[in-house]
Structure 1
Amino acid sequence: MSVLMEVARLDESGELTDAVAVSRARAGDLAAYEVLVARYTVPAHRAAVLLGAGDDADDVVQEALVKAYRQLSRYRGESGFRPWLLAIVANETRNLHRSRKRREGLVLRAATGGGPEADVPDPAYEAIAHERRAQLVEQLRRLADRDRDVLVCRFLLDLSEQETAAALGVAKGTVKSRTARALARLRELLPVGEVPGA
């Protein structure tokens, strides 16, 4: 059985939890790390895009996955592999911003998720939804980085407060206060009903 087939079999069967996969990867089992890569590449890519990596999101994710593999010995498992990886993605995205020496022009766009749906969506609904997403993304771009980052993690990536704290490298209480302030700032910029969690 090929490595890819073994990865798919283990991941689909649910036999390999993140903790077990990390443990096996630390011991040199590349197939176990491939399971983690298969599980978390899409969320990592979404995080990179939403945090402002734009067209460089693929490179950010690849670098983050390589760094995560090299740093598996540092992984303590307190908050789970996903938020730990997303913290690395966030750091890599910040590194990208610093290397560009500019913040203007970075594209923040929401990644679409999910597979094809059985029903064909109403075109009018899709147009309105697209317009609302574009407006939300535009207003998110106007927020300060710390406000945007916490809202992206909490509402677009659907991370818990604890996972957001791990991803951003701040205390859980800081996540709560930043979220409240960022939502208040976003409410000032958007029409009623357009703010996540409102």
Structure 2
Amino acid sequence: MLVARHTASAHRTAVLLGAGSDAEDVIQEAFVKGYRKLSRYRGESSFRAWLLAIVANETRNLHRSRDRRYGLMLRAARVEPHPEVAEDNAVGAVLAGERRAALVRALRSLPARDRGVIVCRYFLDLSEEETVTMLGWPRGTVKSRTSRALAKLRGLLAVEEVSRG
């Protein structure tokens, strides 16, 4: 039941944190480790946050094992083009796709720590406390990093908007 409930979040986390095509392997390993360490879950945070912290660690292990210095930047999140555009005109669909692509490009260009906190808070919709658990950072660090990362992301999106014309 837990696997069924959390697979989508785990997969999205692995992909957004840079696992790319290896996301399935990462989440499988995370679920196995989570099962083996289930007795260590103390209930201090949600089970989802605890599990996603394992997924995040497994994603980092993937990059370390390949010894890629810029692993997270090179294998950043891929967004599959499945637009759920409510507008029924082609122009609206094209504009939505362009905005989504611009957001993904900007997200990819953020440093790994900034990208991680944005993914947790806004893509995975984790609470501040769940983000603290997942990333293993103090609450103040999560707050300040989120604020700075959002400012960087807004700046990158503004620069792209200006360059597009």
Is the Cα contact below 8 Å between 1:50 and 1:152 reproduced in 2? yes
Q: Give the match for residue 46 of structure 1.
A: 12
Moved over 3 A (4+): 110-113, 119-123
1:120 to partner: Cα distance = 7.8
Residue 149 (structure 2) pairs with residue 149 (structure 1): no
1:146 to partner: Cα distance = 0.5
Q: Give the match for residue 91 of structure 1.
A: 57
Q: Give the match for residue 108 of structure 1.
A: 77
Structure 1: runs of 5 or more not aligned: 1-34
Taking the TM superposition and a 5 Å limit, the aligned residue runs for 1:149-168 are 149-168=116-135
Residue 106 (structure 2) pairs with residue 139 (structure 1): yes
The verdict on how the C-alpha distance between 1:62 and 1:111 changes in structure 2, with shifts beyond 3 A counting, is farther
Is the Cα contact below 8 Å between 2:34 and 2:51 reproduced in 1? yes
The verdict on how the C-alpha distance between 1:44 and 1:190 changes in structure 2, with shifts beyond 3 A counting, is same
State how many pairs are aligned: 157
1:188 to partner: Cα distance = 1.7
Structure 2: runs of 5 or more not aligned: none
Q: Separation in 2 of the partners of 1:112 and 1:154?
A: 22
1:111 to partner: Cα distance = 6.0
- Letter of the 2:127 partner, please give it: S
What secondary structure is seen at the aligned counterpart in 1 of 2:74? coil
The verdict on how the C-alpha distance between 1:77 and 1:110 changes in structure 2, with shifts beyond 3 A counting, is farther
Q: Separation in 2 of the partners of 1:44 and 1:121?
A: 32
Residue 102 (structure 2) pairs with residue 127 (structure 1): no
Taking the TM superposition and a 5 Å limit, the aligned residue runs for 1:177-196 are 177-191=144-158
- Letter of the 2:4 partner, please give it: A
As a proportion of its length, which structure holds more helix?
2
Q: TM-score, normalised by structure 2?
A: 0.86
Is the Cα contact below 8 Å between 2:87 and 2:93 reproduced in 1? no
Q: Give the match for residue 31 of structure 1.
A: none
1:184 to partner: Cα distance = 1.3
1:121 to partner: Cα distance = 4.7
Greater length-normalized contact order (CA 8 Å, ≥ 6 residues apart)? 2
What secondary structure is seen at the aligned counterpart in 2 of 1:158? coil
The verdict on how the C-alpha distance between 1:112 and 1:78 changes in structure 2, with shifts beyond 3 A counting, is farther
- Letter of the 2:49 partner, please give it: P
Q: Separation in 1 of the partners of 2:80 and 2:34?
A: 22
Q: Give the match for residue 62 of structure 1.
A: 28
- Letter of the 1:61 partner, please give it: I
Q: Give the match for residue 20 of structure 1.
A: none
Q: Separation in 2 of the partners of 1:185 and 1:101?
A: 27
Q: Give the match for residue 26 of structure 1.
A: none
Residues 63-72 or 182-191, more deviating? 182-191
- Letter of the 2:124 partner, please give it: L
Q: Give the match for residue 175 of structure 1.
A: 142
